[in-house]
Structure 1
Amino acid sequence: MSDRISNLRLRLQQLQSRFTWDLRVEDMDLDDINIRLEEHIELQGDAVARSFSLLAYVRYLQGQPEEALSLLKQSEEKTKECDGEEAERRLIVTYGDMAWLRFHAGDYTEAEEYCQRVEDILLNFPTDPAVLRPEVYGEKAWTYFMFSRSYYPKAIECFQKALQLQNDDSEWNTGYAMVLQRTEERACELSKQSEESAAVKQLRRALELDPDNGVLLCLLALDLIPYKKHGEASGLMERALRVNPDHPHVLRYIGKYYRKQGQIDEAIDLLKQALERTSQSPFIHHQLAQCYKTKKIEEQKVNSTSVEHWRRLSIQHLEEAVKIRPSFVAALADLALLYGEQKDLNRAEELFQSGLKMLPVPEKYICTLFYQRYGDFHYYHTGNEADAIKYYTEALRFNSKSWEWSQCIKMLKKIAERRP
């Protein structure tokens, strides 16, 4: 390797870039990330420039370097268009990605030019050598947040560092609120607490800075339900619908809210509207399936002939959800259980086995849900009580304190009480 290439590689390794942040392809579901980023770009949401640069890295990992470069240039254009005087600082990571991309393509001259751009920006906006610029911490945080649940702790740490430097920045406060909301305890555990969680407090803080953010309004409303603050939650949902009446993410969260409140028909109407705007959302398909499952359960109570109709609709949307996102373990488990109800035991077992291979072990709630569903499958549909006990017991190992966790305890007690 020539001295020029060796020196260039050393310069590149000093850059803050997605190529230097230890992002491992095995931690990511590239197809799912791709769908979410393309949807965000299509909706022209906030920070669309970041979506272009994140998608560029996905394209690089998918072996499409030229399209990756094109996306990075679109990110650069959008950043300059939207951020004005702040654009240079917000391009530090983008130019770093461009430098690495050109290096991997063998275009060392252009790689050196992008390296120099980054170095010039850092000279123009000097900081303590031990501290990154807040724009870099923020970009790093959003990258970790968007790419993998396993990176959430790193995302939290980076958002905190960005906020230490820019406490009133709306983007960093919003991202921090969202990642805390994704990682906090489930509703069953929160309902035992009187003080609002860190996520709720941060959602309130983010809304102080961005009061018309429909998604934040919805997330706060959903998080207030365990505290029985139903009046405030309802008001927040109404406000979200006023400020973002056509945004599919707002519609899907309001649909989820209505479902949790037992307003199933209203939830179905809103989720259908959201699906018209973004048909490739596994989340919306899963929510609709949950609504149809609730309709099925209601009809079962009165021995209605429409039970199979609602079951088929639920299966249809769950099949679509796992087709779009094969790693959607919760949807796989729900789908498998419905096939168990139909006595298609082979298909159900096949789905459960697929889910077992993809279980995200750090995510206690998802693992608990999966094993609870698997236990129910054996208890109610195969008659294999030994396997039911096995999977209910496995669910308890994750100590998620969720409804599913409590249900496993209930079922194990029920089995024990029947035995001599």
Structure 2
Amino acid sequence: MSCTEEKPLKTELDTLECHFTWDLRKADINVTDLLTRLEYNRDINLGGKAGTACTHNSLAYVRYLLGSYEEAFTNLQRSVELIKECYRNDCDKKLIVTYGNFAWLHYHMKQNADCKSYLEKLRDIKEKNPPDSNSFPHHEVLGEKAWALFKFSRKYYGRAKECFRKALELEPEECEWNAGYAIVLYRTESNCKSPKDSSAIQQLRRAIDTNPDNDELKLLLALKLAAFELFDEAEDLVERAVEMSPESPHVIRYVGKYMRVYGSLDRSTALLKRALEVAPNSAFIHHQLGLCYKMKNVQFKELHESQRFRQLSISHFEKAITLKSGFIFAMAQLALLYGEDGQIKRADDVFQTAFPIAEEKNEGLQTLYLYYGEFQQYRARCLPLAIDYYKKCLKMAPDTRDGNKSAKNLRKIADRCLLKNTSNAEALGILDFIELVKGEKHSTAEGSEYVLESTCNEE
């Protein structure tokens, strides 16, 4: 391909709507984890033929990132087959993304003629099916783009939300886009004061109306409602979901989470173990089981059973981060349990591994600050470091659950010091910091900083 020939070809390729033009950067993606999840979705035929066709499109792009071009072609060919089986004579608009991926893949393989062939197919589709507006591509394209952004990286959740919203402006009754919009709102919403303020609750209700057979949506709504103590409706949704999808691991995992948080710990454990038999490589289910056994470890603290439950919890968290590298919340829980088990260096190593990943992904960093503070206070016995990380946690987001927990821990430290000496400058400095970050006034000088004069006792 000559340079003069390549330039206009590349210009046209850049105008396409497909994975290669959606700014899906390898640096933002955990490719191994994504590949595992997409292959699992493909194997269970998630979303039926249409959903699996989209999965093959995403798999093709991941294969391209890994340099496996032939496997990428196989995925794209399978995507075309499924789309034609699903939509028969009305499939042109559904093929826009797949044909765009084909054109780009041929371009990267220097197969100029084949690349031009797919560009010609796309021109034909565009002529037959012009978009309804110059501002948007077809809603089918926007919807697939939204799902790709959502599945590829948490960093893209904001863009995914906007794509789902635009797709629904063009096709308000499309059940898959309503479901996707509801799920991304569920994942991103925080600090709602009431159910009426919750966009996620409103959209989950809308999504269930358009797709009443989607039991996963019912459970997400149940979890949201239970957070506002609306247990009657929440438990009704859980019962309906279990009745309709008793063997679905996607449903059972959320039932297990609901039961762990709001119901029976034993029932949650039993449900999750059953789901694990169907989906043994689900990092989510291993994580949820780890949390169940961690709670049992606390319940049986004074009994011999505590050690057994702690080891079970550790084993499930270890499995979760093996299946999903960079699983920040599982890493944080695992590190705390290592500390409780007396494995101080191993715990600290996990924390030090997790911090840069959390910073890069912009995910879970506040939780890590809180947990590392607790680890330093109660296991490593280094109070200055504990205070430092509690402060980082509080300053990052004062009104979140983790921020409030850090403030509570800091107040306890200060109160213990003030019991011994009511004018302890270090303790008053901590209280001053809390109230400054919270936006309140305090009688001591604003912004004063102190460091407690305790030593680090490494175990």
Aligned counterpart in structure 2 of residue 57 of structure 1, from 53, 58, 61? 61
User: Is 1:147 aligned with 2:146?
Assistant: no
Cα displacement string for residues 167-199 of structure 1 (whole angstroms, at most 9, x for unaligned residues): 1111111111111110000xxx33x32525001
Among 185, 198, 207, the alignment partner of 1:180 is 185
Pair member with larger Rg: 2
SS for the counterpart of 1:397 is helix
Counterpart of 1:395? 393
Cα displacement (A) at 1:403: 2.9
Aligned residue identity for 2:288: Q
How is 1:140-289 mapped onto 2 (pairs within 5 angstroms)?
Answer: 140-185=145-190, 189-190=191-192, 192-289=193-290
1:90-169 equivalences in 2 (<5 Å): 90-127=94-131, 128-169=133-174
391-400 vs 144-153, greater mean Cα deviation: 391-400
Once residues 245 and 77 of structure 2 are traced to their aligned partners in structure 1, the CA distance between those partners, rounded to angstroms, is 30
Task: Provide the identity percentage.
Answer: 40
Q: Which residue of 2 aligns with 1:68?
A: 72
- CA deviation after TM superposition for structure 1 residue 22, in Å: 1.4
Moved more, 158-167 or 192-201: 192-201
Q: Which runs of 5+ in 1 are unaligned?
A: none
2:79 is aligned with what amino acid?
Answer: S
Q: 2:124 is aligned with what amino acid?
A: D
- The equivalent of 1:305 in structure 2 is 304
Partner of 2:374: 376
Equivalent residue letter for 2:146: A
* TM-score of the superposed pair, with normalisation by structure 2: 0.87
Amino acid paired to 1:10: T
Separation (CA, whole Å) in 2 of partners of 1:129 and 1:224: 40
Q: Does 1:344 align with 2:343?
A: yes
State whether residues 28 and 361 of structure 2, in contact with CA within 8 Å, keep that contact through their aligned partners in structure 1.
no
> What is the rounded CA distance, in whole Å, between the counterparts of 1:122 and 1:91 in structure 2?
11
Instruction: State the 1:362 CA deviation.
Output: 7.3
Residue matched to 2:292: 291
- From 391, 406, 409, give the equivalent of 1:408: 406
Using the TM superposition, give the Cα deviation of residue 397 of structure 1 relative to its aligned residue in structure 2, in angstroms. 2.1
Once residues 56 and 360 of structure 1 are traced to their aligned partners in structure 2, the CA distance between those partners, rounded to angstroms, is 29
The 2-side partners of 1:335 and 1:130 are apart by 48
Kindly indicate whether structure 1 or structure 2 has the higher relative contact order, using CA contacts under 8 Å at least 6 residues apart: 1
Which whole-Å deviations, capped at 9, do the CAs of 1:352-371 have from their partners, x for residues lacking one?
0001111147757x222111
Structure 1 partner of 2:327? 328
State the Cα deviation string for residues 289-335 of structure 1 (Å, max 9, x = none).
000001010001xx101110000000000011111112011111111
**CA-to-partner distance for each residue in 1:240-299, whole Å, 9 max, x for gaps?**
112222111101000000001141111111111111111111111110000000101000
Cα distance 1:272–1:360, how it changes in 2: closer, same or farther (>3 A)? farther
CA distance change for structure 1 residues 256 and 169 in 2, over 3 Å: closer, same or farther? Answer: same
Structure 1 residues 295 and 173, CA gap change in structure 2 (3 angstroms): same
Alignment partners' CA distance in 1, 2:25 and 2:83: 27
Distance 1:82 1:360 in 2: 42
**1:267 & 1:387 partners in 2: Cα distance?**
36
> Does the Cα contact within 8 Å between 2:195 and 2:225 map onto a contact in 1?
no
Over aligned residues, Cα RMSD in angstroms?
A: 1.4
CA–CA distance in structure 2, aligned partners of residues 116 and 271 of structure 1: 50
Distance 2:361 2:21 in 1: 24
Q: Could you tell me the TM-score, scaled by structure 1's length?
A: 0.95
2:365 matched residue in structure 1:
367
- What's 2:10 paired with? 9
CA–CA distance in 1 between the matches of 2:243 and 2:88? 30
**Take 1:347 and 1:263, find their aligned partners in 2: how far apart are those partners?**
32
Q: Which residue of 2 aligns with 1:385?
A: 383
Give the whole-Å Cα distance in 1 for the aligned partners of 2:122 and 2:195.
Answer: 48
1: distance between equivalents of 2:53 and 2:106?
20
Hey, what's the Cα distance between the residues in 1 that align with 2:214 and 2:83?
21
Question: Alpha-carbon deviation of 1:83?
Answer: 2.2
Deviation at 1:48, TM superposition (A): 1.0
Q: Which residue does the alignment assign to 1:41? A: 42
- Amino acid in the other structure paired with 2:236: G
Equivalent position amino acid for 1:373 in 2:
Y
8 A Cα contact 1:367 1:398, kept in partner: no
SS at 1:19 equivalent: helix
**Alpha-carbon spacing, 1:196–1:232, altered in 2? closer, same or farther (3 Å):** farther
| Structure 1 partner of 2:426 | none
Name the SS of the counterpart of 2:300 in structure 1: helix
Q: Work out the CA distance in 2 between the residues paired with 1:400 and 1:105.
A: 51
Q: CA–CA distance in 2 between the matches of 1:400 and 1:358?
A: 22
- What's the offset of the Cα at 1:3? 3.1
SS in structure 2 at match of 1:245:
coil
Q: Are the counterparts in 1 of residues 366 and 402 from structure 2 also a CA contact under 8 Å?
A: yes
Distance 1:347 1:50 in 2: 41
Q: Is the 8 A contact 2:328 2:358 kept in 1?
A: yes
Native 8 Å contact 1:214 1:240 kept in 2: yes
- Contact between 1:368 and 1:400, CA under 8 Å: does it hold in 2? no
Letter in 2 for 1:344: Q
Q: Which blocks of at least 5 consecutive residues in structure 2 are unaligned? A: 422-459
Distance 2:78 2:128 in 1: 24
